[in-house]
Structure 1
Amino acid sequence: MKHIVWDWNGTLFHDIEAVVGATNEVFRPYGLAPMDSEAFRAAYTRPIWVAYERLLGRPLREGEWEELDQAFHDHYHRLMISCALAVDALSCLRTWADSGRTQSLLSMWAHERLVRKTAELGIDPYFSRIDGLRDGAPGGGKTEHMVLHIESLRADPAQVLVIGDSLDDAHAARHVGAAAVLYTGGMTSRAELAASGFPVVDKLSEAFEHAR
């Protein structure tokens, strides 16, 4: 492999506590009991509004998704301040860069915030390209964004490894013809990741075994 496309939330950025905390805040007015990370992972899927319907046990009303999403991000942006990179994220970025190969970042988080946060953490120079969500509905799938990301990189998908924490990352990779490794530090349960048939790792550095 010559290039890695990293996911951000739940992969390089260890923010599961902020995600779960924000979700609990969103559904507190609905009378739902607070979730821990395992309960959240059991409900999580993409698109996110499907996960919300699972939690509520009913379809969302007209306009309700937009209200819930705005509330989630209001709480998330407050809680994420205490989050940091995954334990071995920085060493992985350095190791891959030192090998002379390239890497990029593709996230469904708001592009401006993503660029600002990676700069704040001092890791933006490691990426040949950073793409967050510039337009389109938040909470949706990653496939069309992966297509555009790979096209912008002018990369051969057969030489690309996608590393992410959700099945959506793997499906997007498969769609463009890239390989994928799924990481257990994020929002999807290990059991669900393993059932997908894609390689699963508990440490980001273990993903490099699938890049050779």
Structure 2
Amino acid sequence: MKHIIWDWNGTLFHDIDAVVGATNEVFKPYGVAAFDNDGFRAAYTRPIWVAYERILGRPLREGEWERLDQAFHDHYHRLMLSCALAEDALHCLRTWAGSGRTQSLLSMWAHDRLVHKADELGIAEYFVRIDGLSEGAPGGAKAEHMVAHIESLPVDASDILVIGDSVDDAHAAQHVGASAVLYTGGMTSRADLSASGVPLVDTLSEAFTHAG
């Protein structure tokens, strides 16, 4: 492989506690019992509004998704301040950069916040490109964003490894003809990740064994 495309939330950035905490705050007024990490993973899927429908046990009403999503991010942006990079994330970024190969960052988080956080954590320099969602963009499937991201890179999709923590990351990679590895330390349950048929790793460093 010549290039790695990293996912952010739940992959490089270990924010599961903030995500679960924000989700619990959002659904507290609905009388939903608080999730622990494994309980959240059992309910989590993408698009996120499908996960919310799972949690509520009913379809979302008109305008409800927008309100829930805004509330989630209000809580998340407060709770994420205590989160950090995954344990071996910095080592992985340095190791891959040291091999002379390239890497980029593609996230479904807000672009401006993503760029700022990567710079704040001192890792922006490792990426040839950072792409998040534009302001007000819907948080749907990642595949269309993967297409645009890869079109901006001077490398063929067949030479790219996508490292993420959700089945959506695998689908996005398959959509463009890239390879994928899924990390078990993020938002998605091991059972759901296994069902994707994509190789699983318990540490980010293990992903390099699939990079050639």
TM-score by length of 1: 0.99
Q: 1:182-197 residue pairs with structure 2 within 5 A?
A: 182-197=182-197
| 3-state DSSP of counterpart to 1:153 | coil
Letter in 1 for 2:43: A
Residue 156 of structure 2 is aligned to residue 156 of structure 1: yes
Following the alignment from structure 1 to structure 2, what is the Cα–Cα distance between the partners of residues 54 and 61?
13
The residue aligned with 2:16 is 16
Letter in 2 for 1:161: L
Quote the sequence identity (%).
80
CA positional deviation for 1:119: 0.2
The residue aligned with 2:77 is 77
Deviations 1:160-198 (A, max 9, x none): 000000000000000100000000011001121112110
> Are the aligned partners of 2:111 and 2:135 in contact in 1 as well (CA < 8 Å)?
no
Q: 1:72-151 residue pairs with structure 2 within 5 A?
A: 72-134=72-134, 137-151=137-151
Deviations 1:49-104 (A, max 9, x none): 00000000010000000000000000000000000000000000000000000000
Following the alignment from structure 1 to structure 2, what is the Cα–Cα distance between the partners of residues 8 and 172?
14
Letter in 2 for 1:50: V
| 3-state DSSP of counterpart to 1:181 | strand
Letter in 2 for 1:106: L
The residue aligned with 1:49 is 49
Letter in 2 for 1:29: P
Letter in 2 for 1:64: E
> Are the aligned partners of 1:108 and 1:138 in contact in 2 as well (CA < 8 Å)?
no
Following the alignment from structure 1 to structure 2, what is the Cα–Cα distance between the partners of residues 169 and 83?
22
Following the alignment from structure 2 to structure 1, what is the Cα–Cα distance between the partners of residues 89 and 131?
18
CA pair 135-81 structure 1, distance change in 2 beyond 3 A: closer
Letter in 2 for 1:166: S
Letter in 1 for 2:105: L
The residue aligned with 1:26 is 26
> Are the aligned partners of 1:115 and 1:124 in contact in 2 as well (CA < 8 Å)?
yes
Structure 2: tracts of 5 or more residues without a match: none
Please list every run of at least 4 consecutive aligned residues from structure 1 whose deviation after the TM superposition is greater than 6 angstroms: none
| 3-state DSSP of counterpart to 2:104 | strand
> Are the aligned partners of 2:6 and 2:12 in contact in 1 as well (CA < 8 Å)?
yes
| 3-state DSSP of counterpart to 1:25 | helix
Number of equivalenced pairs: 212
TM-score by length of 2: 0.99
